[in-house]
Structure 1
């Protein structure tokens, strides 16, 4: 019986190839971060573009959220139940005039809680001294004010910055209360001094805080209704302020013009001042869209910078790649290494930008005295955007590194 030797094809290999080891998470992080530690300055400059973009996005969204919260809080404190009525134009194109008894008629509307008014004193200016030319008004108007004006437009807080408001006694004498803008333009920070108006000296008895719902008062000097009559005021109000219960604001709006001027309701302009404040939110949102676009451009530039740096890194580290491949590293491990490095570089920039953006938002909130409200979507989105940009930017360099043949990589100098 003849024994046949096994063929070479059936013989087991003398030296079987080892199974490539899998990189653990710790090893992958160590290898991926090794390139960043070896070139710290380059890594910092590359991450700076991502940091600027993330900081811009987080700061814009953060400031927008803080502004919205602060403005809504302000509107809530001032109230959305304030309506104003002012004269428009008559059918002949002339300026209309509100009736003298318009305030009393508005007070009869069911649900109205308080009504007040101001009236423009014609041809009157306010100046620091009588040496200043009459034409230099500084944009300050002289208005007669009813005694309940602050109770109607002031909201829940104290509208007085210093001094007192007009009362039954001072309203008949040469006393004036300055709005916040008027006081600043005249150079007053406390009451007690005098200003010159309509050929007379009057004493400043009070200065108001800014009134967001009545910016026209901020630029005015307020005289008593009775004293203003001595300066040529005819008694016709030029703006009526009305507060009603929240539940009946719309109903009062519908009848306010007809109540103020029953004969010519089309000549009365009715508005709600709080609508102007809430309209600022829409304007800021449009402006924020532009800033977010600029932040997105910065992120794009940062991503291109990271891709460029990673390509250069692959070219500079060809021998390292060839040595690792010769020692048994697979293409997948090389690709994962450089992809991890790109994502880590982008995340470092993203975290730095996140800190800067939150810091800017916090500083803005403290400066304005508004509540700090951080948008969770901006914080999470910033980190997620940084990781995504790093992955996209590092994909091509990582694939390029993985495709390098070991012999060619080791032969390069």
Structure 2
């Protein structure tokens, strides 16, 4: 305790009737007509008393003693805040870690794929395509390009009757309806596929206008072709094409699994597929935006505005979007737990106030002010919230690291989260203790001691 305030009191008892007399009212403190002369005369007869005052160290000591006086109750009260803070830390940490992992996979599969759509040439006597097959070589020379391929298809060849033999038997299924298209020899790498049987056609087949075909894995299964050792053939519009390979596992353009793929020259001679309709480009990570800007210029100089480029979105925006969605989904759980913890602190603090009415009355009778009583209970509730925040932050980070280790992820932890969790817990405890502390400060000493 420290003496801080100096309070003046009269040396002798005061008759209330004297205070109503204006002639002598200025002799006493609190008189209705106190004048400067009366106050000057009082200074000589007044005595000084000391009012006790608690500094923050004393207040903290008293509050800590109050918390430790009921350790089991304080532990159960702290548990609510621990659960709330732990849930918040786990939610934010897991969402950041999962978002980083999802975006990493997104980068590997999607963020490196660029597609250029070529519109059909206008009808004329001698239509000139905007993009020819040699434009693929120009795109391949761009910085950041890993692989590129061109595809030609049309609505006329989107549904073609394909048969595995030319023998027609009554009652048997003679063929399948499939899409037929032309592609450049680099198609397997561009669609991230692999040859499950045989090989893909090459520049020699294209230069020789060879009637060869490559089947998608589903198309080969539908036609009953599982091996190319005996050089099986398929028939399109009465023409036979030797099957030299089967393409499977395409991650891009998955409709190729049910298609028949022909060399560009053969497709133009037999089916009229001469104009490139799409260009598939795979880039290095981070080069998709640049390649998407340069590819139309390389494919159609002077007419690049007529081409449509489909490039992946910015990975940074995708990461923020994923983290925002995960945070919005799980953050509610943490907030609900935190609110439950705050209600628990408020209830326990209020019960503590009711149990310590006698102590409050004794403190007030000994000279404690309303602010001191309210401050003690506020510091107690804030201490409980702070302890819950510290324990919850530690448990939350341990859970995030453990989940990341089990899933083989790289944990993403924000230092601000570790520092802000205890502050959030203390703030919850402070807000939860406002009403109980105000109620304790409003108690009159006589009523508190009487009860």
- TM interval, shorter chain, is 0.5 to 0.7
For residue 83 of structure 1, the aligned residue among 114, 137, 145 is 114
Per-residue displacement from partner, 1:53-78 (whole Å, max 9, x unpaired)?
43453334323432453355456656
Bigger CA radius of gyration: 2
* Structure 2 residue 92 is matched with structure 1 residue 61: yes
Call closer, same or farther: CA 1:409–1:88 in 2, change over 3 Å. farther
Call closer, same or farther: CA 1:332–1:252 in 2, change over 3 Å. closer
Per-residue displacement from partner, 1:10-30 (whole Å, max 9, x unpaired)?
9999x9998879638555423
Per-residue displacement from partner, 1:117-150 (whole Å, max 9, x unpaired)?
456673389xxxx99xx89x9xxx9987655346
Partner residue in 2 for 1:281: 319
For residue 225 of structure 2, the aligned residue among 183, 201, 207 is 201
Q: Is the 8 A contact 1:69 1:370 kept in 2?
A: no
CA distance in 1, matches of 2:320, 2:201: 45
Q: Is the 8 A contact 1:83 1:243 kept in 2?
A: yes
Q: Post-superposition shift, 1:85?
A: 0.9
SS in 2 for 1:373: coil
Q: Is the 8 A contact 2:151 2:279 kept in 1?
A: yes
Q: Is the 8 A contact 2:149 2:280 kept in 1?
A: yes
Call closer, same or farther: CA 1:205–1:318 in 2, change over 3 Å. farther
Q: Is the 8 A contact 1:87 1:239 kept in 2?
A: yes
* Structure 2 residue 144 is matched with structure 1 residue 105: no
Q: Post-superposition shift, 1:398?
A: 1.9
CA distance in 2, matches of 1:327, 1:288: 56
Partner residue in 2 for 1:189: none
Q: Post-superposition shift, 1:386?
A: 1.3
Q: 5+ unaligned residues in a row in structure 1: which ranges? A: 1-7, 179-193
Q: Is the 8 A contact 1:153 1:241 kept in 2?
A: yes
Q: Is the 8 A contact 1:165 1:177 kept in 2?
A: no
Structure with more relative contact order (C-alpha pairs < 8 Å, separation 6 or more):
1
Q: 5+ unaligned residues in a row in structure 2: which ranges? A: 1-10, 13-43, 162-171, 206-211, 228-244
Partner residue in 1 for 2:31: none
Per-residue displacement from partner, 1:357-401 (whole Å, max 9, x unpaired)?
435644664566432111222222222111112112213322322
With normalisation by structure 2, the TM-score equals: 0.58
Call closer, same or farther: CA 1:252–1:195 in 2, change over 3 Å. closer
* Structure 2 residue 309 is matched with structure 1 residue 270: yes
Q: Is the 8 A contact 1:62 1:373 kept in 2?
A: yes
Partner residue in 2 for 1:350: 389
Call closer, same or farther: CA 1:391–1:30 in 2, change over 3 Å. same
Q: Is the 8 A contact 2:220 2:246 kept in 1?
A: no
For residue 123 of structure 1, the aligned residue among 134, 146, 159 is 159
Call closer, same or farther: CA 1:16–1:379 in 2, change over 3 Å. closer
Per-residue displacement from partner, 1:257-285 (whole Å, max 9, x unpaired)?
35545797555321223x26554334335
CA distance in 2, matches of 1:57, 1:233: 62
Per-residue displacement from partner, 1:188-223 (whole Å, max 9, x unpaired)?
xxxxxx9633x34346978649x5xx4x44x65277
SS in 2 for 1:107: helix
Q: Is the 8 A contact 2:152 2:181 kept in 1?
A: yes
CA distance in 2, matches of 1:396, 1:276: 49
SS in 1 for 2:409: coil
SS in 1 for 2:58: coil
